[in-house]
Amino acid sequence: MWKLPAVALLASLTGLGSQARAQEDPKAYPSRQSTLITVTAPGAALDVVARTIGAGLQEQMGQPVVVVNRTGAGGNIGAGEMARSNPDGYTIGMITGGTHGVNPTFMPNPPFDAIKDFAPITMAADLNITLSVQSSFPVKSLAELIAYAKSNPGKLSFGSAGVGTGLHMTGELVKLETGLDMTHVPYQGVAKSLPDLLGGQLQVLMANPADVGNLIRDGRLRGLGVAAAKREPTLPDIPTFTEQGFPKVIGSTWFGVAGPAALPRPIVERLNKEIHTLMRKPQTAERMANLGMNVILNTPEEFAGYIKSEIAKWAPIVKAAKASAK
C-alpha cells in the first residue's frame, strides 16, 4: 500500500487542522481561548484599552481572552501578525492611527495593506492631542508662540512620543497650518520628554491629556491648544486650534479593534456588539474618562471608511514634512 511520507503527512494533517479551524461554525463562536494583540508596551494607553476590552469580552462571552503585547516598527509588527492570523476570530487585535493612518505612507515598505488585509470591527476610543509649554516659557497663547518663533528663528523644538507617531504628525500639521518654525525631537514615549520640557531644554510638547493633564492643572505646564473640534473635557480652559483660527489642526490618538481580512461577517458582528455593550457600561465609560479618553463606537463599515479617510488625510502631511522611517 502506498504511504504518504511522514513529513508530508504531518503537513497535510496540520493543514487540515487549520482548515477545520477556519471553517468552524460561527454560531459556536467562541468555543475556546482567544488572543487579543496590542501593538504597544504594557502600561501604555492602548494597552489599558486592550486589557479593558479583553477582560470585558472574557466576562461577556464566557471564554478566556489573553492580551499579548507585540511591539516594534511603529506597531507594524503586531498589526502584521494580526493580519496573517487564521481568520476564525480567535486572534484579533488593536489597531491605531499609527498603524492605519500614518504608517501606510510613513513606512517605505509596510508589511501589510492597511485596507485590504484587515476586517475592521469597531473603533473603541481616542485621546485628544494638546500642545503645551513649560509654565515659565515667555508665551501665554498660541498667538504669542507664533510671534516668538518669528522673532527667534530656529530656536524652537517640539517633542513627541517618537518618529511617525500621531503626536509627531500632529506637530507637523501644526507647523504646516500655523507657520511655526519648530524642529522635531523624538523621544521613546512622552514620559521621557517631560524632564527636558520642565528643565527648559525642550520648548514645546505634543502629548495626550493623560500624559500632561496633571502637570497643566498643577501649573507646571501651560496648554496652548487642543487639536480637536471641541475642547478637551479634562482640560476645559485650553482653547482648540479651531477657536484660534486654525480649523484644519485636528488630530488624535485613536484605537480600534480589527481582525484578519477574511474574518466571517457573523463573527465581526458579534464582536462589534459585544465591544459596544462593554464600552457603554457606566464603569467602563468612567474608567476611560478618568484616563482622558473619549469612547467612540461605530459600525464595521463606518470604521473602514474612517481608516481610509485617515490614510488620505495624513499622506500629504507626511510627504510635506518629508518624514519617513527610512
Q: Residue 151 is part of a domain; what is its CATH number?
A: 3.40.190.10
User: Are both 257 and 122 inside the same structural domain?
Assistant: yes
Does residue 11 have a pLDDT over 70? no
Q: If you average pLDDT over residues 13-21, what whole number do you get?
A: 45
Instruction: Say how far apart CA 82 and CA 93 lie, in whole Å.
Output: 6
Domain containing 164: what range? 130-226
Looking at the fold, whether 110 and 134 belong to one and the same domain comes out as no
Q: Does pLDDT of 63 surpass 70?
A: yes
Asked whether residue 141 falls in the same domain as residue 122, the answer is no
Q: Do the domain assignments include residue 237? A: no
Kindly state whether residues 117 and 266 are assigned to the same domain. Answer: yes
Phi, psi (5° rounding) for residue 271? Answer: -65, -40
Q: Does residue 113 sit in the same domain as residue 160? A: no
15 pLDDT above the threshold of 70: no
**pLDDT of 271:** 98
Confidence of residue 13 (pLDDT cuts 50, 70, 90): very low
pTM: 0.83
Per the structure, how many domains does the chain have?
Answer: 2
The radius of gyration of the chain's CA atoms, rounded to the nearest angstrom, is 22
pLDDT given at position 232: 93
Over residues 72-101, the pLDDT tens digits come to 888 889 999 999 999 999 999 999 998 999
The reply to whether 140 and 153 lie within a common domain is: yes
**Residue 3's CB: how many other CB atoms inside 10 A?**
7
> Which CATH number covers residue 265?
3.40.190.150
3-state secondary structure (DSSP) of residue 164? coil
Q: Single out the residue of 83, 101, 99 nearest to residue 259, CA to CA.
A: 83
H or E stretch including 19? helix 6-22
Map grid coordinates 500639521 to a residue.
173
Q: Which residues pair with 34 in a beta bridge?
A: 65
What's the mean pLDDT when you consider all of the chain? 89
pLDDT at residue 111 is higher than 90: no
Give the full edge-to-edge strand order of the sheet including 252-260.
65-69, 34-38, 91-96, 252-260, 118-128, 293-295
Confidence (pLDDT) at 38:
94
Instruction: Identify whether 170 is part of a domain.
Output: yes
Q: What is the dihedral of CA 158, 161, 167, 169, to 10 degrees?
A: 80
Look at residue 13 and tell me if it is in a domain: no
| Span of 23-32, 206-215, 271-280 with lowest mean pLDDT | 23-32
Does residue 300 have a cis peptide bond before it, meaning omega lies within 30 degrees of 0?
Answer: no
**Helix or strand (DSSP H, E) at 106:** helix 103-106
